[in-house]
Amino acid sequence: MSVDGDHPEGLLYHEEHDWVLLDGDTALFGVTWHAQDALGDLVHFDPPDVGDTVIANESYGELESVKAVSDVIAPMDGVVLEVNGEVAENPELINDDPYAAWLIRVRLGEPSQADGLMSADEYARMLDDAG
C-alpha cells in the first residue's frame, strides 16, 4: 500500500482519520496517513485489551508522539479479537506505513455501520475541504 499520503481504495474511512478493512463480520482498524503525519514520530500505542468492546465514535486507545497524545477513535462497534502486537512494541511502524500497521482486529457488532463511512475519494475530498 501507499505511504505517500494516498488513501488506498478498498478501505473505508472515518472522519476522525481512522480506516477500516472489512472482512466479513470482522475488520481491521488503523489510522490514516493524515493522522500519523499530524501526530509526528510515534513513540507509544496504548491499545485496548482483547475482549474489550469498542464503540463507534469513542476512543479505544491512545497514540503518543513526540508532539502529543491523541485518542484513537473507533470507526465502528465491535469486540476486540486481536491487538497488533508488533505495532504495540514498535509504534513507529505506523509512521512507516499506517495502512500496513493496523492497530486492532474486531468482530463487528453492527456491520451496517460501514454505510456511514467514506470511500477513499470521499475522504480525500473531506481533507481538501478542510485544508
Domain with 35 in it: what CATH number? 2.40.50.100
Q: How far apart are CA 120 and CA 77, in angstroms?
A: 21
Q: How far, rounded to the nearest angstrom, does the alpha carbon of residue 12 sit from its chain's CA centroid? A: 10
**Cα–Cα nearest to 31, from 46, 44, 43, 16:** 16
Mean pLDDT, rounded, for 103-122: 96
Q: Enter the pTM of the model.
A: 0.94
**Residue 99: pLDDT over 90:** yes
Please report whether residue 131 resides in a domain: no
Please report whether residue 79 resides in a domain: yes
> For position 5, what pLDDT does the model report?
59
The parent domain of residue 59 ranges over 12-112
Beta carbons of 29 and 102 less than 8 angstroms apart: yes
Beta carbons of 125 and 50 less than 8 angstroms apart: no
Q: Where are the alpha helices (DSSP H) in 1-131?
A: 33-39, 85-89, 92-96, 120-130
Residue range 43-84, pLDDT digits in tens: 999 999 999 999 999 999 999 999 889 999 999 999 999 999
Q: How many domains does the chain have?
A: 1
- Mean residue pLDDT of the chain comes to 93
